Structure formats: structure tokens, C-alpha cells
């Protein structure tokens, strides 16, 4: 079964058409499917439409959150209710094309665990497209998972991915990255991107700032989540080394001048080095201390099951 999870926020105009298009594609392709619509605090008639659709069509179910918790929370609620072996996330604004479903399933059956949509020909204005390209390049370089469109809302993955990859805040866009870090096989598939017909974009300039901060979070979680002391310790050793080098140079200079009978007082040229070296020494010590504390917290609170991923049992 394919479980399609759709977060909904004020999308009453598009929900009926979305269900119709999904039904046409899946029924024609012989795909057993269910549609889970998660109302993430809508203020329009979205929940009434979801209730109507779930009453009229047995494949449709609805979940209503008490308020707007964000897309990641809505997706998590929907994925926990999914019964399918395959799970797809899709936006409700009709910009994602349901006719891409069979092709993405075929791609998954080539041996992949995650298929990420790639809006190769985007129909968004340039001020959204250009920053997105910069962001995607940054994510690919920092995480090692090279995808053209990490932000695409159309993603397909096996159910075990949803059980092992935990998302919160706005980390839903990094599901492929976190799955890749767990050892799942990730690929991408070009998909058709349609113009917006209903509603309006819910993202603005702040999205890219939040995205960058989330990227740093994901990089830390996937690279150092179980060994934070390695990152903090490396920073600590680096700054500690700089501080010791600076202070060592000044100490050596002081000794040389003293042996030559020259007044070794710190001149204006050396005062900045003294200040920066002392600050670097303190920063390095603090980073090392934080690294040890972080390691202690991880050792006491980490769930052993989250430190590995089982591919198969016999």
C-alpha cells in the first residue's frame, strides 16, 4: 500500500481536486493507496472539506491538530497513522503532480529507499528560484548528499525510513539527508512542477535564514550527534593551540629581550596579540569543557537503538 501524507493549512479550494487526481492516477495504475490529510490549524473550511472527503471515500482519512504546529509536526502525525509499506509526502496546493506517483514508485523499486522529487523546471519567480539553488548547493556540499532540490515537497520513501528518521521544527526538508546518514539509499527523480492556482506561498525571506540554521543542526546531528565531543573538542584544541602559540611567542620574546638587557615591557604592537591569545586560550578551554559535558549527556541519555540502522533480519 502507498500512504500519501498531505499537510493542510488553509487549502479548502484544492483538496477535492487533489483527491480526484490522486485517485485517477493510483486506480489506473493498480496502486493500493490511502490519503491522509493533516489539518495543521487551518482557519478556513479545510477541516470541513476533509471530513466530507473521508465520509465519501474510504481511502481518505483526516487528522486535525489543535493549532498550527508546523509542517514537520503535521507530517509526523500523518506518518504515524500510515499503514502503507511506502509513504509519500505531498503538498496540498496542486503544484505537486500526482501523475508522478507511478514513476517515483518504479524508481524506488530499482533498489532505493528514498526518492526525492526534483522540480527541474520550476515555475516560481526568480527571487525564490535563485536563493533555492544557492541553498541546495550548500546542503549538498556540507552533507555529502548531492541533490538538485532538497526542498521539494514531493518525496517517496519506504516505511522504515519514517520509523528511523525523526523530524521536528522544519527538518522535514532534510529527510533525505538524515536517511542518507542512516545508510539508506537515496536518489532523485525529475518531476513536473505546476503553477500555483489556489492560495498563496507560505514561505518568505525568513525561510532561507531558518533553512541555513536547520542545515547547521542537521550537519551536527548527522555528523556528531552521538559524538559531540569530537566537534567541540576539535574546536577547543584549535583555539587552545592558537592561544598557546601566541602566548608562547610573547614569552619567548620576553626572555630574549630580558637576556639582552632590553626592557621587555609589552609594546603597542604586542598588546593585541596578548589579548587575542588569552581570549583564544579561554575559548579553547571552554569548548573542550563543553565537549566533555556533551559526551557525558549523550552517554547518559542516548537511546542505543538510534545509534545504528538494521537493513534486514533473517
108-113 contacts at long range (C-beta below 8 A, 24 or more positions apart) = 108/156, 108/157, 108/158, 110/187, 111/185, 112/185, 112/186, 112/187, 113/157, 113/158, 113/160, 113/161, 113/179, 113/184, 113/185, 113/186
Confidence of residue 216 (pLDDT cuts 50, 70, 90): confident
The domain in which residue 268 lies consists of 228-307
Query: Domain boundary residue among 179, 203, 224?
Result: 224
Q: What is the pLDDT of residues 75-90, one digit of tens each?
A: 999 999 999 999 999 9
Q: What's the pLDDT at 123?
A: 67
Give me the residues paired with residue 119 across strands.
Answer: 191
Is residue 313 one of the residues assigned to a domain? no
Is residue 232 one of the residues assigned to a domain? yes
Confidence of residue 105 (pLDDT cuts 50, 70, 90): very high
Q: What's the pLDDT at 124?
A: 67
Q: What's the pLDDT at 82?
A: 94
Q: What is the pLDDT of residues 266-283, one digit of tens each?
A: 666 678 888 889 999 999
Q: What's the pLDDT at 213?
A: 75
CA distance 75 to 65: 11
Q: Are residues 213 and 241 in the same domain?
A: no
Is residue 27 one of the residues assigned to a domain? yes
Q: What is the pLDDT of residues 249-268, one digit of tens each?
A: 888 888 887 788 777 666 66
Confidence of residue 201 (pLDDT cuts 50, 70, 90): low
Q: Are residues 238 and 220 in the same domain?
A: no
Q: Are residues 81 and 220 in the same domain?
A: yes
Query: Domain boundary residue among 177, 200, 224?
Result: 224
Q: What's the pLDDT at 42?
A: 92
Q: What is the pLDDT of residues 4-34, one digit of tens each?
A: 999 999 999 999 999 999 999 999 999 999 9
Nearest to 149 by CA among 188, 99, 195, 197: 188
Q: What's the pLDDT at 265?
A: 66
By the 10 Å C-beta count (0-12 exposed, 13-18 middle, 19+ buried), 55 is classed as exposed
Q: Are residues 292 and 248 in the same domain?
A: yes
Q: What's the pLDDT at 257?
A: 78
Instruction: Take residue 22 and report the three cell numbers written for it.
Output: 490522486
Q: What's the pLDDT at 50?
A: 95
Is residue 211 one of the residues assigned to a domain? yes
Confidence of residue 233 (pLDDT cuts 50, 70, 90): confident
Q: Are residues 272 and 157 in the same domain?
A: no
CATH number of the domain bearing residue 14: 3.90.550.10
Q: What's the pLDDT at 92?
A: 93
Query: Domain boundary residue among 224, 258, 287?
Result: 224
Is residue 10 one of the residues assigned to a domain? yes
Does the pLDDT of residue 190 top 90, yes or no?
A: yes
Q: What's the pLDDT at 208?
A: 63
Q: Are residues 219 and 239 in the same domain?
A: no
By the 10 Å C-beta count (0-12 exposed, 13-18 middle, 19+ buried), 36 is classed as buried
Q: What's the pLDDT at 308?
A: 57
Please say whether the beta carbons of 15 and 8 come within 8 A: yes
Q: Are residues 102 and 234 in the same domain?
A: no
Does the pLDDT of residue 205 top 70, yes or no?
A: no
Output the average pLDDT for the chain.
Answer: 85
Q: Are residues 166 and 273 in the same domain?
A: no
Taking the C-alpha atoms of 140, 143, 147 and 153 in order, what is their torsion angle to the nearest 10 degrees? -110
Which DSSP string do the residues of the chain spell out, in sequence order? -EEEEEEESS-TTTHHHHHHHHHHHHHHTT--EEEEEEE-S-SSSHHHHHHHHHHH-TTEEEEE-SS---HHHHHHHHHHH---SEEEE--SSS-B-GGGHHHHHHHHTTT-SEEEEEESS--S-HHHHHHHHHHHHHHHHHHS---S-TT-S-EEEEHHHHHH----TTGGGGHHHHHHHHT--EEEEEE-BPPP-SS-----THHHHHHHHHHHHHHHHHHHTT-HHHHHHHHHHHHHHHHHHHHHHHHHHHHHHHHTT------TTTHHHHHHHHHHHHHHHHHHHHHHHHHHHHHHH--GGGG-------
Q: What's the pLDDT at 23?
A: 97
Confidence of residue 101 (pLDDT cuts 50, 70, 90): very high
State how many domains the chain has. Answer: 2
Nearest to 232 by CA among 300, 303, 295: 295
Is residue 188 one of the residues assigned to a domain? yes
> Is 128 or 94 the better-scoring residue by pLDDT?
94
Q: What is the pLDDT of residues 236-250, one digit of tens each?
A: 889 999 999 988 988
Q: Are residues 235 and 213 in the same domain?
A: no
Q: What is the CA radius of gyration of the chain?
A: 26
Is residue 168 one of the residues assigned to a domain? yes
Q: Are residues 126 and 206 in the same domain?
A: yes
Q: Are residues 124 and 269 in the same domain?
A: no
Q: Are residues 187 and 247 in the same domain?
A: no
**What Å distances lie between residue 274 and 253, 267, 288, CA to CA?**
12, 10, 21
Is residue 177 one of the residues assigned to a domain? yes
Amino acid at each position: 500500500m502507498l500512504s500519501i501524507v498531505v499537510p493542510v493549512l488553509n487549502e479548502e479550494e484544492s483538496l477535492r481536486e487533489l483527491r480526484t487526481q490522486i485517485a485517477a492516477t493510483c486506480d489506473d495504475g493498480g496502486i493500493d493507496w490511502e490519503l491522509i490529510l493533516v489539518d495543521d490549524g487551518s482557519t478556513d473550511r479545510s477541516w470541513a472539506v476533509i471530513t466530507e472527503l473521508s465520509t465519501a471515500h474510504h481511502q481518505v482519512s483526516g487528522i486535525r491538530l489543535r493549532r498550527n504546529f508546523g509542517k514537520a509536526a503535521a507530517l509526523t502525525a500523518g506518518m504515524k497513522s500510515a499503514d502503507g509499506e511506502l509513504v509519500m509526502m505531498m503538498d496540498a496546493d496542486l503544484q505537486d503532480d500526482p501523475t508522478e506517483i507511478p514513476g517515483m514508485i518504479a524508481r524506488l523499486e530499482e533498489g532505493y529507499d528514498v526518492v526525492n522529487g526534483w522540480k527541474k523546471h520550476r515555475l516560481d519567480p526568480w527571487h525564490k528560484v535563485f536563493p533555492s539553488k544557492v541553498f541546495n548547493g550548500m546542503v549538498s556540499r556540507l552533507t555529502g548528499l548531492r541533490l538538485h532540490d532538497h526542498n521539494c515537497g514531493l518525496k517517496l520513501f519506504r516505511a522504515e525510513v519514517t520509523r528511523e528518521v525523526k523530524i521536528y521544527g522544519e527538518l522535514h526538508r532534510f529527510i533525505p539527508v538524515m536517511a542518507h546518514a542512516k545508510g539508506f539509499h537515496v536518489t532523485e527523480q525529475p518531476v513536473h512542477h505546476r503553477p500555483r492556482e489556489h492560495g498563496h506561498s507560505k514561505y518568505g525571506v525568513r525561510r532561507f535564514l531558518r533553512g541555513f540554521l536547520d542545515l547547521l543542526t542537521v550537519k551536527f546531528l548527522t555528523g556528531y550527534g552521538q559524538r559531540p565531543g569530537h566537534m567541540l573538542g576539535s574546536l577547543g584544541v584549535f583555539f587552545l593551540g592558537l592561544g598557546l602559540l601566541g602566548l608562547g611567542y610573547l614569552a619567548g620574546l620576553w626572555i630574549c629581550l630580558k637576556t639582552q638587557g632590553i626592557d621587555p615591557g609589552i609594546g603597542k604592537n604586542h598588546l593585541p596579540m596578548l589579548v587575542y591569545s588569552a581570549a583564544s586560550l579561554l575559548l579553547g578551554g571552554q569548548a573542550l569543557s563543553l565537549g566533555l559535558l556533551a559526551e557525558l549527556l549523550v552517554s547518559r541519555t542516548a537511546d542505543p537503538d538510534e545509534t545504528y540502522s538494521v537493513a534486514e533480519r533473517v
